[in-house]
Structure formats: C-alpha cells, structure tokens
A and B are shown apart, each in its own frame.
Chain A
Amino acid sequence: MKKDWLDRLAESLENYGEPAPDGLWESVESSLPLRSRKFGFLAWTGVAAAAAAVLLGVFLWTRRDAAEPDTQPYVAEVAAPVSAPAPAPVPAEEVPERVPDAVTAAIPSVRSVPAPASVPVSLPVQEAEPSSSEEAVPVESAVPQEVPAEAASAQETDAPADEAEIAENIRAWNDYLAASASEDEGGQLVPDGAGVSLAQGLNGAASAGLFDPSEFFSGFSPEGSLAPQSGDIQSITRSAIEQAYTVTTTEQHLRPVRVGMSVRWHLTDVFGLETGLVYSRLQSRFRSISGTTVTLDDQRLHYLGLPLHLTVELARGRRFSLYADAGPMVEKCIAGTVKNTVSVSGIQASATTSRRQEIRPLQWSVGAGAGLEVALTNRIGLYAEPGFSYHFDDGTQVRTVYKEHPADFTFTTGLRFNFRR
C-alpha cells in the first residue's frame, strides 16, 4: 500500500531540529526545583541551620524588647576639682562633711560613681559635661552653689566625731538656714544643678547619727523652696532627694531598617557568592531626666554596607527560591545627626539644635540568615531575608544599636541580580 505523502512529510521532519532560543537553558535551570538526593542531607542541614538562626534571632529580639528601654539612673559626676573655694561673698548653702551610710543606702538606683572619701565641693557648679562613656547627661545649674570655706575644707575622718564637733555642725547648718531664709525670702533653688556637687558627697563614709541626712538635703526640695526653719526640713522625704540628685538616662535603640541591592553569582547549582550594597538606618533616642529637666537626643545614623556572603540554595520553584547565607559585612557611616531638645517641666526650654555625628572607623559584622526570593524576571528577584548578625565594636564612643546589642536579629529586603554560569 502506497504511503500517504503526509506520512512521508512527517518522516522527513521526524528528526529535524532547529536552534534553541537564546537563554532557554538558563531560564529552565533557574526554575528547576532542587531535588537532589545527594544534596538532601546538606539541604536539610541548611534548612535546620537557617531555622536555628531565625529562632535565635527571634529569641534575642524578644529578650531585647523585654529589656528596653535601657534605664540607667546614676549620679552626675563632678567636673570641678575638690578644693577650697575662693572667699564666698554670700554662702548659698553649707555642706556638712559627713553623711551617714544610711543616706547612701537610701538611693538604690545610684550607679557607681567614683567618689572621694572626703566631701567634694565644687564652686560654682558648672553644667555637667557628658562623661567619657557618654552616659552622663547635662545637669543644669541655675544658681551657683557656694559653700563656706570652713565647711568645704573640713576633712572627713573615719574616727567617731566628738560631741562638740557634732554640735558645731548642727549649729552651723541651722545658722545657715536661718540666714538663707531671711535673705531669699523663700527664694527658689533649682535642685538640678545643686545635685552635681552634693550628690557626689553621698558616698562619704561617715558613721550614722552625726548628721541627719534629711536635714542635709531638705534645702533642695523638689519644689525648690528653701525651708525657713529646720523643723520643716524633717518633712522632706528621701525619695525627693533621689529625684533631685539623680540623673536618669533612658536609651532606646530602634531596630535598623535595611534595604539592599545585591548581586549573586551562582557558582554551582547550590552554592553562590553574593555581594552588593546594603543601606541601614539606625535610630537611637536618649532621654535624660534630672529633676524637671528632660533632655532628648535623637540620633540618626546612615550606613552603607558591603556584604560578602556565601549562599546555599535550599529549594527552588518556578518563581521563588529559598536560601540560606552567611558571611561578613563591612559598613561605613555615611551620615549622622543628633537632634537635641531640652524641656523643663514639660515645656521646651529652647529651640531644637542639630549637630552632625561622625563615625570614621568602619563597622565590621558577621551575619547569617535565611531568605525567600521571588523572581521578577529571569535575573532579577525581590528578596526578604530575616537573619542574625554580630557587630564588632568599632572603637568609638558613639552609642548605637550595634554597640548596645551587638548580637541581634536583622531583616533585610531588596532587589537581587542573579548571574549563572
């Protein structure tokens, strides 16, 4: 039977081939799922490691959230040297040289501040500069504090004072209160500034009973009124003392916002090398409370990072890819500002000032994470990557989330360009 010519046509074209469209294999390969049995163990190990990293990150995150904000109350340091003051025209206050241990114990939140054994007095009291660790906050002084020379120059001794000395102290204090009341007519003293020198004296090692601490601090009530008589002094509570002479700093470091633009070279079907640029914005708020004065510093830092990550592809579908990655990153602070606002009794005391914050050293870190990438095109994908990173100390004194929480949970999102062999 003669074949139909259509059959002969089909036979002629049976093995006929045409060139494949350009880039077809790359498109096919990028969409193929990883189903390797050999890779199974590695894949599961990778998935387990990624899950562990995310869990650890979440753990640290929740742990950190529980700890925030960082409240660090402590006594401001005295900047001026301890020395006998120049002859004071009008004594503003008199400072006894001994304070019972009970007073020190009454301020539980006071952080350790080096204190001399003797009663330190600084005249006049300057606005306190931040300490070297930047934990100290500005303490304002509206009224220069002056102390009679004889009181300031009094030397503390561990030996029990004799009764004559005690009586002299009490007499001198009462005389001073009476004089102050008559001159100031109930004039106001701002407790914030007074705290600088007086609080420092709280660590003095005097024995109890030599001087009533309530009397000692009563001149600086929260309201600022100077008690005219020693009898009224007794009503001042110790909590008021704490409030007046304690500076409380609250730090709040927001979790960085990260956006990336990365390039990944797929070295093999599974492993890849990735780099790119990662922008991070760090925001920290420092709130210092000293009496009625509240100082707020809003710090914003902008970092540009260069990561170098080894990536492991764990699973791949037509449009998505699940992967884990790990590696170092170096970041550079490209800009930074600190906005400072001071308010007294809830009212802004001055215009908000802004200054540049420079961080010259590079910031190094290592990190690991697990990410999901959704393909927009054959080469470009949109990724979201939770992870965990550890930031090394950059050696500066600037407080950042990297320094306060070096090991932290991260979340990065961005665009990725993929290149395959």
Chain B
Amino acid sequence: MVRPSAEQELFLLERAREGDRKATRQLYDCYVSLLTATCSRYLSDVSEVRDVLQDAFIKIFSSLDRFEFRGEGSLKAWMRQITVNEALKRLRSRKRSPFVEMPERIPEPAGEEEPDVARVPASALQEMVRRLPEGYRTVLNLYAFEKKSHREIAELLGITENTSASQLHRARAFLSREINEYLKNRSDI
C-alpha cells in the first residue's frame, strides 16, 4: 500500500474523524501491514497478534479526535505507539515473566562479530527477531525500534535497568550469530 502524502493523510484523518467509514478503511489499509509487522516482533503467537491488532485499531479509530497531526510521519508514529503499548500490555498480563533478573551489569560479550545487516533481506531479519526468546526480543524491540533507554524500558516492563541491559546484551549476541550464520549459509550456496 502506497503511503499517502501528509495532505492526503490529513484529509483522510478529518473524514475518519467525522465517521466516514471509507476514510477509516483507507487509513487502516495504509498502516495495517506495518502495524502487523510491528506487533509480530513483540508477539510470536499469531492469534495473539490478531487480538492485539484488533484492540489497537479500535483504540486508534476511537481516539482520532485526541490525535494532533504534526506533519508527515506523526500519524504513523502515533499508531505504532498505541500498537506497541497494546502488545506490552499483553506481555505484562502473563503470569510468568519472560525476563530473567540480572543482579549485575554484564559486560559486552567479547568477540561479537558485527553482522552486515544490509546484506540480509528485511523478511529474514524480521524472522530472526521473531525467533528471539521473548524477554530478549521485547527489550531489543524497545531499545532498537522504539529508541527507549534502559531506564524507560525498565519502567515499562517493571524490571531493573540491569536486567534490561543484560537482556539486550544477550539479544544482540543471539541475533548477530543468527545473521552471520544466515550470511555464511548464503555465501556457501
């Protein structure tokens, strides 16, 4: 789906706020694939992804009046923020925490080979992120994609900053190994 320009987006937004269902549908079509991918990076279960997306879109379209348009990309960022919040809410509702508390700061693992991300297709990268253990994945998503600090991550997830850092550390090591493995296999072919 081709993303609309800022003017087009504003027009659709106004119509959707008036209850125009076609405009609402167009906004949905513009962002549903992006938000599905975002949600899928947090949740591995397909039915959970669907439920969270449904809740997120209902929240988005029910609160369009409260959104303040601040130019291109602002609507996308706002929609993504709501979707991520809904995904985190789902994760927090689980009885067992996926995060292993780390009492001490763990140093950067020695010898982490920096992967050449540019040579890996997006779909493969997405799949590798999804294969990460849930605790690693969540922290990595918030750190890398939402640009949150460890303090913010710790507040969002109810963990310590050390735990956030250690989870990210392990996620990096896990992911870099995966990417390098992928590239190695590709070069062998």
Query: 1/0 per position for A23-43, CB-CB distance to B under 8 A?
Result: 011011101111111110000
A28 touches B57 (CB 8 A): yes
Chain B residue contacts of A360, Cβ below 8 A: none
Query: 1/0 per position for B33-66, CB-CB distance to A under 8 A?
Result: 1101100110000100110011001100110000
Query: Whole-angstrom distance between the alpha carbons of A8 and B115 in the complex?
Result: 10
B13-21, B94-102, B181-189: which one contacts chain A? Answer: B13-21
A21: interface (CB < 8 Å): yes
Q: Which of B58, B118, B176 contacts A31 (CB 8 A)?
A: B58
B82-90, B139-147, B159-167: which one contacts chain A? Answer: B139-147
A-B contact pairs, 18 of them (CB 8 A): A5-B117, A10-B145, A12-B125, A16-B125, A16-B126, A17-B36, A19-B33, A20-B36, A21-B53, A24-B53, A24-B57, A27-B54, A28-B61, A29-B21, A31-B54, A32-B21, A34-B19, A38-B19
B170: interface (CB < 8 Å): no
Chain A residue contacts of B37, Cβ below 8 A: 13, 16-18
Query: 1/0 per position for B125-161, CB-CB distance to A under 8 A?
Result: 1100100000000001001110000000000000000
Chain B CB within 10 A, most for which of A8, A9, A36, A318: A9
Main secondary structure of the interface of B (DSSP, over half): helix
Number of interface residues of A (CB under 8 A): 31
Chain B residue contacts of A21, Cβ below 8 A: 36, 46, 49-50, 53
A18 touches B40 (CB 8 A): yes
Query: Whole-angstrom distance between the alpha carbons of A15 and B123 in the complex?
Result: 11
The chain B residue with its CB closest to the CB of A269 is B21
Query: Whole-angstrom distance between the alpha carbons of A18 and B126 in the complex?
Result: 10
Query: Whole-angstrom distance between the alpha carbons of A352 and B35 in the complex?
Result: 71
A37 touches B118 (CB 8 A): no
B33 touches A37 (CB 8 A): no
Query: Whole-angstrom distance between the alpha carbons of A36 and B126 in the complex?
Result: 38
Q: Which of A5, A16, A38 contacts B176 (CB 8 A)?
A: A5
Given contacts A12-B122, A25-B25, A32-B58, contact A17 B144 (CB under 8 A): no
B114: interface (CB < 8 Å): yes
A7: interface (CB < 8 Å): yes
Kindly list 17 other residue pairs between chains A and B, CB separation below 8 angstroms, not including A7-B144, A18-B36: A6-B143, A8-B117, A8-B118, A9-B129, A9-B144, A13-B125, A16-B126, A17-B1, A19-B33, A20-B33, A20-B53, A24-B53, A28-B28, A28-B54, A28-B57, A36-B19, A37-B18
B10: interface (CB < 8 Å): no
Query: Whole-angstrom distance between the alpha carbons of A28 and B27 in the complex?
Result: 13
Chain A residue contacts of B126, Cβ below 8 A: 13, 16, 18
Chain B residue contacts of A18, Cβ below 8 A: 33, 36-37, 40, 126
The chain A residue with its CB closest to the CB of B58 is A31
Query: Whole-angstrom distance between the alpha carbons of A39 and B25 in the complex?
Result: 18
The chain B residue with its CB closest to the CB of A2 is B114
Query: Whole-angstrom distance between the alpha carbons of A34 and B21 in the complex?
Result: 9
Query: Whole-angstrom distance between the alpha carbons of A8 and B172 in the complex?
Result: 13
B122 touches A16 (CB 8 A): yes
Chain B residue contacts of A13, Cβ below 8 A: 37, 41, 122, 125-126, 129, 145
B32: interface (CB < 8 Å): yes
Chain B residue contacts of A36, Cβ below 8 A: 18-20
The chain B residue with its CB closest to the CB of A32 is B61
Query: Whole-angstrom distance between the alpha carbons of A31 and B46 in the complex?
Result: 20
Query: Whole-angstrom distance between the alpha carbons of A21 and B32 in the complex?
Result: 9
Chain A residue contacts of B36, Cβ below 8 A: 17-21
Chain B residue contacts of A39, Cβ below 8 A: 19
Query: Whole-angstrom distance between the alpha carbons of A16 and B124 in the complex?
Result: 11
Task: Please give the distance in Å from A52's CB to the nearest CB on chain B.
Answer: 25
The chain B residue with its CB closest to the CB of A23 is B50
Query: Whole-angstrom distance between the alpha carbons of A7 and B125 in the complex?
Result: 13
B28 touches A6 (CB 8 A): no
Query: Whole-angstrom distance between the alpha carbons of A20 and B54 in the complex?
Result: 11
Chain A residue contacts of B24, Cβ below 8 A: 29, 32
Chain A residue contacts of B118, Cβ below 8 A: 8, 12
Chain A CB within 10 A, most for which of B62, B129, B144: B144
Query: Whole-angstrom distance between the alpha carbons of A37 and B20 in the complex?
Result: 9
Query: Whole-angstrom distance between the alpha carbons of A28 and B24 in the complex?
Result: 11
Chain B residue contacts of A8, Cβ below 8 A: 117-118
Chain B residue contacts of A12, Cβ below 8 A: 117-118, 120, 122, 125
B125 touches A9 (CB 8 A): yes
Task: Please give the distance in Å from A178's CB to the nearest CB on chain B.
Answer: 94
Chain A residue contacts of B129, Cβ below 8 A: 9, 13
- Nearest 5 Cβ contacts at the A-B interface: A36-B19, A17-B33, A21-B50, A18-B37, A20-B32
Query: Whole-angstrom distance between the alpha carbons of A210 and B176 in the complex?
Result: 125
